[in-house]
Amino acid sequence: MALTFAEDSADALPIYLVGSEAPETVLAGLSEEQGEWAEFNGFNGQLGQALALPNRGGALVGTGTPEARIRKRFAVGAAISGLPGATYKIANPAPEGPDADEIALGFLLSCYRFDRYRSQSAAKAKLVAPDGVDASSLETIAASESLTRDLINTPAEDMGPDALEEAVRTLAREFGADVSAVEGDDLKDQNFPLIHTVGRAAAKAPRLIEMTWGMKGPALTLVGKGVCFDTGGLNLKPGASMGLMKKDMGGAANVLGLARMIMASGMTCRLRVLIPAVENNVSGNAFRPGDIYTARNGLTVEINNTDAEGRLVLADALAYGSEAKPDLMICMATLTGAARVAVGPDIAPFFTDDDPFASALAAASSQVADPVWRLPFHEPYEAMIEPGIADLDNAPSGGMAGSITAALFLRRFADVGRFAHFDVYGWQRANAPARPKGGVGQGIRALFHALPEVLSK
């Protein structure tokens, strides 16, 4: 579906943004009839309030207080999307915020519907892009976020490794990118042993998908975990834990959303996207606890839990990506429950040794309302991922610092100067403004905003 702004016209109805701390500053400018209508309906500018005025007089939308907006981002744009069917145009700046970009993007993201399997009622309201915003950029961001959501929301029967590859090829055709894939037993022949090991028990062949775009500028490599369904393998997940595992390719979905933003905006860089796409399944040839495998870069890995498979497929992809020595490599994965315990479902934790990158990302996160939080590559925990019988342990015992030890494991394969790893959740557990229950992008808007500065250094 197209998430776009309406064309400006003389018929566009005005939206009056009203804060809750001094609503009279706006309400006093209404006609007597409109003022009485607002009073009758109890409109006082609370965050997310929306009231259509009589006789096509436009609408009032509450912007609340700064404190309320921190707790519920995008609420103003979401409220606009719920107005009665008409084309609207914001008539006044929001008192004390939010800024026009957040309102406009919140509106676009609120218009998203996942309608592949069931028709969904579209938003009836249309919005003219507010003055001063880059409408084209916001539409690009919304369309890219929509791609991420669609990919995560699609069940594994229709989004296996083969379908994920086709999604990459479709995206590549849109922007003139190149795509190749190494599939099935060819993974062994071309030295991707861990990707093959994890995916070999599934009916749909594992593969490494590679997309490249751009001929000049810094080299940027994005690596996304593409575990299209995760049963846990022989360390089988309980049913309650398996129910959401269609989202275990959320890292790949986020990377593809970010890649779309980069390509659509024409960012100057040499972009490379690597997605190890597998299903972690159970059959007679499934990999086993206690097995030891040699990764692409020569490190040996002891398998102490087959449900810690994401770091295995990423290991080969990161080692492969490192061989070209990109200027920056970013990995995104729905990797650990420990990350959710640490920061909850709404924040994307990331790991990096690159302080300027971390600072730029933190600033961008605040500006675009896309929360991220830096966690440490804590060196003393390196011993926890070294089992003794092999170079590395894919699932250290004890349950402590699970997100950190996973990040340290991945860093062993990222032989580049600048590296960042994101441990995302990729799922919105309940409806929220501009974020319906289901798949969601995390960290990619902040990255898109920060990358021009980061890549210039």
DSSP code per residue over 359-404: HHHHHHHHHHT--EEEE---GGGGGGG--SSSSEESS-TT-SSHHH
Q: Is position 130 within any domain?
A: no
**Looking at the predicted structure, is the pLDDT value of residue 153 above 60?**
yes
Residues 81, 183 within the same domain: no
Question: What pLDDT does residue 398 have?
Answer: 86
Domain with residue 69: its CATH number is 3.40.220.10
Question: What pLDDT does residue 164 have?
Answer: 98
First to last CA, the chain: 37
* Single-letter residue type at 77: G
How many helices (H) and strands (E) the chain has is answered by 16, 19
The pLDDT-based confidence of 95 (bands split at 50, 70, 90) is confident
Q: 338: domain range?
A: 140-455
Residues 160, 199 within the same domain: yes
Q: Is position 128 within any domain?
A: no
The pLDDT-based confidence of 457 (bands split at 50, 70, 90) is confident
**Looking at the predicted structure, is the pLDDT value of residue 444 above 60?**
yes
Residues 96, 147 within the same domain: no
Give 352-365 pLDDT, tens digit per residue. 999 999 999 999 99
* Phi (first) and psi of residue 193, to 5 degrees: -65, -35
Domain with residue 343: its CATH number is 3.40.630.10
Question: What pLDDT does residue 54 have?
Answer: 95
Residue 296 in tokens: 């692409």
**Looking at the predicted structure, is the pLDDT value of residue 97 above 90?**
no
Give 365-397 pLDDT, tens digit per residue. 999 999 999 999 999 999 999 998 999 999 998
Task: Among 62, 94, 111, give the residue marking a domain's end.
Answer: 111
Q: Is position 133 within any domain?
A: no
Question: Per-residue pLDDT averaged across 179-187, rounded?
Answer: 98
Residues 335, 187 within the same domain: yes
Question: Per-residue pLDDT averaged across 96-101, rounded?
Answer: 87
The pLDDT-based confidence of 40 (bands split at 50, 70, 90) is very high
Q: Is position 116 within any domain?
A: no
Residues 258, 211 within the same domain: yes
* Phi (first) and psi of residue 312, to 5 degrees: -70, -50
Residues 230, 283 within the same domain: yes
Q: Is position 3 within any domain?
A: no
* Single-letter residue type at 438: G
Q: 266's torsion region: left (phi>0), alpha (psi -120 to 50) or beta?
A: left
Query: Do the Cβ atoms of 375 and 350 come closer than 8 Å?
Result: yes
Q: Report the catalytic residues.
A: 237, 311
Question: What pLDDT does residue 385 have?
Answer: 97
Residues 426, 279 within the same domain: yes
Average pLDDT, the chain: 97
Q: Is position 145 within any domain?
A: yes
Q: Is position 361 within any domain?
A: yes
Residues 99, 212 within the same domain: no
Q: What is the number of structural domains in the chain?
A: 2
Residue 398 in tokens: 């004890």
Residues 376, 295 within the same domain: yes
Q: What is the pTM of this model?
A: 0.97
Q: Is position 207 within any domain?
A: yes
Task: Among 96, 111, 126, give the residue marking a domain's end.
Answer: 111
Q: How far apart are CA 343 and CA 345, in angstroms?
A: 7
In sequence order, the β-bridge partners of residue 279 are: 229
Question: Per-residue pLDDT averaged across 66-89, rounded?
Answer: 96
Q: How far apart are CA 63 and CA 20, in angstroms?
A: 7
Question: Per-residue pLDDT averaged across 154-174, rounded?
Answer: 98
Residues 100, 149 within the same domain: no
Question: What pLDDT does residue 314 have?
Answer: 99
Question: What pLDDT does residue 353 have?
Answer: 98
Question: Per-residue pLDDT averaged across 209-231, rounded?
Answer: 98
**Looking at the predicted structure, is the pLDDT value of residue 52 above 80?**
yes
Task: Among 63, 93, 111, give the residue marking a domain's end.
Answer: 111
Question: What pLDDT does residue 1 have?
Answer: 57
Question: What pLDDT does residue 456 have?
Answer: 94
Give 171-181 pLDDT, tens digit per residue. 999 999 999 99
* Phi (first) and psi of residue 272, to 5 degrees: -135, 130
